[in-house]
Amino acid sequence: MATKTYAGVTVDVNEEGYLTNPSQWNKDIAVEIAREIGINELTDAHWKIIDFLQKDFAEKNTLPTIRRVKKVGGIPTNELYELFPDGPLKKAAKIAGLSKPASCV
């Protein structure tokens, strides 16, 4: 298994860089992952989405779809794309320390 170091913490990752153990995640790691994928600052709007993904994942043991993020999370789809351009669920999940969405290639 591969590892990567973020914010001084070594975490387990898969070949695409997604954390394989969500319990290793913390907010400092999220900030570094975000910078690595081109998001230089995580705003309150970003954290709202990240928090929703983590909460929903903890309850359902599966990553929510964009539709669920919109309907249950109350986050408009266009906002999701503005905050996480070019693959919003894929990027948001990676920053949140979760697995890659099954719907993403």
Q: Which two tokens stand for residue 95?
A: 């920053």
Range of the domain at 43: 2-95
**Which residues, including other chains, have CB under 8 Å from residue 33's CB and lie 6 or more apart?**
6, 17, 94, 95, 97
- Establish if 27 belongs to a structural domain: yes
Q: Is the pLDDT of residue 105 over 50?
A: no
Residue 54 is assigned to a structural domain of this protein: yes
Task: Examine the pLDDT at 96 and tell me if it is beyond 70.
Answer: yes
Question: Does 103 map to a domain?
Answer: no
Instruction: Assess if residue 33 is contained within a domain.
Output: yes
Summary mean pLDDT of the chain: 93
Is 61 part of any domain? yes
Number of domains comprising the chain: 1
Does the residue 53 lie in any domain?
Answer: yes
77 has pLDDT over 80: yes
- Percent over 90 (pLDDT), the chain: 90
Tell if the pTM clears 0.85, that is, is over it.
Answer: yes
- Catalytic positions, written as ranges: 104
Please check the confidence at residue 69 and state whether its pLDDT lies above 60: yes
Is residue 104 a part of any domain in this protein? no
